[in-house]
Amino acid sequence: MLSCAAKRKAHPSMVRSISTLLFLVICFITSCGQAPAGKKLIDEINAAKVKARELGDEAERKRSEANKTSDKAEHDKLIEEAAKHYGEASDNLEQAAQKARELARLQSPPWYAEYFGLQSKLFSNFAQLAAGAHEELLVRKSGALSESQVRTWKDNIKRIKEENEELRKQIASIESRQGIVLIKE
């Protein structure tokens, strides 16, 4: 058995060990808290954005191939594939927009509502562009376009591009102010 004097001598080193352990646990908990709220949704948004970009690139390759072939059946097949890829890209972007809307409803941190509200609108706009490309390809494949359709598409594209520029500026301002970029370009 330890004498009272021996117990008192052991006590300060034990307190230091416990203090050190407690400090490490607090640091660990604090560092875990540094991850952005909704990290899983943010990762899913970024993955959907990458997937949509890949689908858009593939759609453009198919469209380009279709324009180079003189075989009508091959042309139509490639156009249908391109349209399908644009449709899938639109779906991915709309899912990303929905996830951004979910993140905008989070209460903490307070700037999420504005940031993810803007991101949601941006993704919805991109989804509209992809859906428009999908529609345009199918209409072009099936026959002649009306001047009205072409004008409507061009006006819509112009409007969305202008709106997207403003959304990007607002998003960049928030990212600069917060010192963090959550949705990758």
Q: What tens digit of pLDDT does each residue of 57-80 get?
A: 999 999 999 999 999 999 999 999
State the pLDDT at residue 77. Answer: 95
State the pLDDT at residue 11. Answer: 53
Q: Is residue 107 part of a domain?
A: yes
Q: Is residue 14 part of a domain?
A: no
Q: Is residue 51 part of a domain?
A: yes
pLDDT exceeds cutoff 80 at 22: no
Count of domains for the chain:
1
Q: Is residue 16 part of a domain?
A: no
Q: What tens digit of pLDDT does each residue of 137-178 get?
A: 998 888 778 899 889 999 999 999 999 999 999 999 999 999
What mean pLDDT do residues 105-127 have?
94
Which residues touch 85 (CB under 8 Å, ≥6 apart)?
A: 55, 56, 58, 59, 62
What integer best gives the mean pLDDT of the chain?
Answer: 85
Both tokens of 149, joined, read 């359709």
State the pLDDT at residue 151. Answer: 93
Q: Is residue 29 part of a domain?
A: no
pLDDT exceeds cutoff 50 at 32: no
Q: Give CA–CA dist 91/42, Å, rounded.
A: 17
Domain range enclosing 135: 37-178
